[in-house]
Amino acid sequence: MKRREIKKILIANRGEIAIRIMRTAREMKIQTVAIFSEADKQAPHVAFADEAICVGPAPSAQSYLNIEKIISVCKELNVDAIHPGYGFLSENPIFAKKVEENGLIFIGPSAHAIEIMGDKLAAKNAVSQYNVPMVPGVNHAIVDLEEAKATAKEIGFPVLIKASAGGGGKGMRVVDSADDIEEQMQRAMSEAESAFGNKSVFIEKFITSPRHIEIQILGDQHGNIVHLYERDCSIQRRHQKVIEEAPSSLLSEEKRKAMGKAAIGVAKACDYYGAGTVEFIVDENVDFFFLEMNTRLQVEHPVTEEITGIDLVREQIRIAEGEPLSFQQKDLKIKGHAMEVRVYAENPRENFLPETGTLQTYAPPQGPGVRVDDGFKEGLTIPIYYDPMIAKLITYGANREQARVRMLRAIDEYQITGVSTTLEFCAFALRHDAFISGKFDTNFVEKYFRPELLDEDDPEEEELAIAFAAQMLAQANKGGIPLSQGENKWKLRNRD
Ligand code: ADP
């Protein structure tokens, strides 16, 4: 493997992840090129880059997904490598191949690995020789209704019908009894066809109270693969993550090791290099089963960076340059605890319906142990064309409780008006006994959340308010801040 130095990167993405990648590139003295659509002229990622080029109109298909245009920009500006971020073209094997064919470096795995892992059935088959536990079910596409019925009976209800090409929680249907299988199969197939252009579905056991735990892996182009421990992403709405943490409060040291080993097996099954994530579902007995592999940088990668001290984007770039990993498994250690909440423009009171609008106020939190990866600023409008994520708020602490309390403090400091966000739901979840005790699963929202609960007074917040008032009183008594100005901000914020 010949070493190829990267001097200029084009980031084929937008928003927070584009800026996140550019920050590391800048630290590595690598020039950055941003691309943007006509809807993103004012976006911070455009101003952040050394150079920026408009690649087309607002719809993604005409801009962020325009392969020919992106490659021609690279040639025009003497770009060496493309970082795809997540979403958009990041898991498109045709793109990865075209990038390489044009003499550019794709900062990611081989097109071959993307192709295998992009299809849930192909992935299951590839890893079947690697002793990786799988959810009980079938490893082939089912089109025949009779076969579907027989399979479901054999596995035992409830079962889950899944689209082979599925993603983003789409194309999944839970079936509780034999009476429903026919209807649900038909629905799943037509949903898969319209969402992914591929109607292939398969059936697996539906694990009723699972945890979603995933393992971060890194592999170089010399055959070395390590894992960087787990992330627990069990707090989800609509089968999609909203709070993540590392490490997981569920795993013993022994289980952590076993999952790490299985994840490395999955990566070996497709000769993986680059950063990747192997997702598992974990049942009540803490038995784990392979779900899928994401062949890119994950939204929630910062929690792993916080607990391992490793900059994953830097490693991605080094690996793409052909460098061997600069550390081995034995050099890695978990230090402290990190949490991430995703700040989506969504209304938790309306079933997490996405919203568009203008950020009339936007002031992110700061202070010890707080990291904000965002892609917006005050006054900007959230475009309807793309994912409604505004930011990721990450906190780090010496232990889980410190990270949790810091997160609540940071959420309280976060000022956003103009759109509803997931922040108040996240604060609700972080204060919930189930979350505090670590005894929760992916059904947290269905089990515990009702919009009315957002309006209930919270004892923890009350305590902070009392402490704050007492402090103000003490200062006023000493001739400090007059009481009238010492209004209780803790109670006023986030109330618009
Ligand atoms: P996608 O690619 O659409 O994100 P995944 O296979 O990664 O689909 O699953 C997404 C989520 O759906 C998981 O995190 C989990 O909450 C749920 N899920 C997937 N498979 C199962 C299963 N067999 N039993 C129960 N829940 C599941």
Among candidates 423, 406, 306, which has minimal Cα distance to 363?
423
Assigned fold of 211-455: D-amino Acid Aminotransferase; Chain A, domain 1 (3.30.470)
Max distance between CA atoms of the chain, in angstroms, equals: 82
CATH class of 8-107: alpha beta
Strand order in 105-106's β-sheet?
51-56, 31-37, 8-11, 81-83, 105-106
Question: How far is Cα 263 from Cα 451, in angstroms, rounded to an integer?
Answer: 38
For tokens 């050099």, name the residue: 331
What helix, strand, coil percent values describe the chain, rounded to 5?
A: 40, 25, 35
Q: Is 231 a catalytic residue?
A: no
CA separation for the pair 11, 33 (Å, rounded)? 6
- In angstroms, what is the span from residue 173 Cα to ligand 1's centroid? 10
- 410 and 339 in contact (C-beta within 8 Å)? no
Per-domain residue ranges for the chain?
8-107, 136-205, 211-455, 460-492
How far away, in angstroms, is 492 Cα from ligand 1 center? 38
Q: Which helix (H) or strand (E) holds 195?
A: helix 181-196
Q: Are 195 and 170 in contact (CB under 8 A)?
A: yes
Beta bridge partners of 227: 217
Task: Using the mean position of ligand 1's atoms as its centre, give its distance from the Cα of residue 270 in Å.
Answer: 21
Ligand 1 center to residue 21 CA distance, Å? 28
> Which atom of ligand 1 approaches the CA of 170 most closely?
3
pLDDT tens, residue order, the chain (496 aa) = 678 999 999 999 999 999 999 999 999 999 999 999 999 999 999 999 999 999 999 999 999 999 999 999 999 999 999 999 999 999 999 999 999 999 999 999 999 999 999 999 999 999 998 999 999 999 899 988 899 999 999 999 999 999 988 877 777 899 999 999 999 999 999 999 998 888 889 999 999 999 999 999 999 999 999 999 999 999 999 889 999 999 999 999 999 999 999 999 999 999 999 999 999 999 999 999 999 999 999 999 999 999 999 999 999 999 999 999 999 999 999 999 999 999 999 999 999 999 999 999 999 999 999 999 999 999 999 999 999 999 999 999 999 999 999 999 999 999 999 999 999 999 999 999 999 999 999 999 999 999 999 998 666 666 665 665 666 566 655 554 433 333 333 333 333 3
Amino acid at 121: L
Catalytic residue among 296, 342, 371, 400: 296
Superfamily grouping for domain 136-205:
ATP-grasp fold, A domain (3.30.1490.20)
Q: Which residues line ligand 1 (CB under 6 A)?
A: 135, 160, 166-170, 204-207, 210, 212, 236, 239, 279, 281, 291-292, 442
**Side-chain half-sphere exposure of 401, counting CA atoms within 13 A:** 2
Residue positions counted in the chain: 496
Instruction: From the CA of 212, give the closest atom in ligand 1.
Output: 14
Residue nearest to atom 17 of ligand 1 (CA): 239
CA 279 to ligand 1: nearest atom: 7
Instruction: Identify whether the C-beta of residue 411 lies closer than 8 Å to the C-beta of residue 394.
Output: no
The dihedral of CA 15, 18, 20, 26: what is its sign? negative
Integer Cα distance of 270 and 111 in angstroms: 10
DSSP assignments along 30-48, one per residue:
-EEEEEEEGGGTT-HHHHH
Alpha carbon nearest to ligand 1 atom 1, residue: 167
Cβ-contact 199, 142 below 8 angstroms: no
- Out of 164, 170, 172, 299, mutate this one to test ligand 1's pocket (max ligand atoms within 8 Å of CB): namely 172
Number of neighbours of residue 473 by Cβ within 10 angstroms = 12
Q: How many CB atoms sit inside 10 A of residue 420's CB? A: 21
